[in-house]
């Protein structure tokens, strides 16, 4: 398995000319043996994508996602009362700023399963079977990847997603399809996503 993941990760990066390696992400009941917990919580869950792309393999627990209540929600993290209140306040602020509308909120994809741990690693270094593989690239690179995945029989998603970026993971997980995201302002701040970049999520079983 590890050799195949390394092969596929290398192929994706080299054929597309990616500056940032594809990231393997899995949701598990317990952390895989030999993988440490992240050393410090990130301001947002998408920050872990950046850490993994930089070469780190690690896992997170629910509390490691409390920095971004919206991201915690999309990941299915059970929120303690204080964080749940923060989420409600943040959503209301976004509505007040006309960043989103109340009717959009129920439609934001989120994991239905109970969150235990999330595991991250560069695809080329993954020692676990990914539930989803996340590729960051330019519009042209993602176009080529979308065409390749569709040619390989992997259905594409519906409309390209925007805010919140992290919702691209449950969208792909739950639909079994590839999903595309333009990103959101928070993600661009925390990951350094370029103006010409976005994300493409592929179900791990179909990589």
Closest CA to 174 of 75, 37, 78, 95: 75
Side-chain half-sphere of 8: how many Cα atoms within 13 Å? 23
* Residue 121 confidence (pLDDT): 97
Task: Please say whether the beta carbons of 57 and 126 come within 8 A.
Answer: yes
* Residue 100 confidence (pLDDT): 64
pTM, full prediction: 0.89
Name the DSSP class of 64: G
* Residue 135 confidence (pLDDT): 97
Task: Please say whether the beta carbons of 67 and 42 come within 8 A.
Answer: yes
Structure token digits, residue 133? 């593989």
DSSP 73-100: HHHTPPPPHHHHHHHHHHHHHHHHTTSS
**Cα–Cα distance between 79 and 59 in angstroms, integer?**
18
* Residue 178 confidence (pLDDT): 93
**Cα–Cα distance between 141 and 199 in angstroms, integer?**
10
Tens place of pLDDT per residue across the chain (207 aa): 788 888 888 989 999 999 999 999 999 999 999 999 999 998 888 999 999 999 999 999 999 998 887 888 899 898 778 777 876 777 677 677 666 677 776 677 888 899 999 999 999 999 999 999 999 999 999 999 999 998 888 877 666 766 789 989 999 998 889 999 998 888 898 888 999 999 999 998 787
**Cα–Cα distance between 27 and 117 in angstroms, integer?**
6
Structure token digits, residue 101? 């509308």
The residues pairing with 121 across neighbouring beta strands, listed in sequence order, are 24
């Amino acid at each position: 398995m590890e050799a195949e993941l390394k092969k596929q990760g290398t192929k994706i990066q080299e054929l597309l000319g990616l500056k940032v390696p594809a990231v393997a992400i899995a949701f598990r009941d317990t952390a895989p043996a030999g993988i440490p917990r992240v050393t410090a919580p990130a301001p947002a869950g998408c920050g872990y994508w950046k850490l993994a792309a930089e070469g780190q393999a690690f896992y997170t627990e629910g509390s490691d996602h409390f920095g971004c209540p919206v991201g915690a929600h999309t990941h299915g993290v059970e929120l303690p009362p204080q964080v749940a209140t923060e989420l409600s306040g943040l959503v209301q602020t976004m509505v007040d700023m006309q960043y989103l509308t109340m009717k959009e909120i129920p439609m934001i994809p989120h994991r239905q399963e109970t969150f235990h741990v999330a595991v991250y690693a560069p695809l080329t270094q993954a020692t676990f079977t990914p539930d989803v593989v996340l590729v960051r690239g330019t519009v042209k690179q993602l176009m080529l990847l979308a065409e390749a995945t569709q040619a390989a029989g992997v259905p594409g998603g519906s409309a390209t997603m925007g805010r919140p970026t992290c919702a691209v993971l449950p969208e792909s997980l739950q639909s079994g399809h590839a999903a595309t995201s333009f990103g959101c302002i928070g993600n661009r701040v925390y990951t350094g996503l370029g103006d010409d970049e976005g994300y493409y999520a592929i179900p791990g079983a179909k990589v």
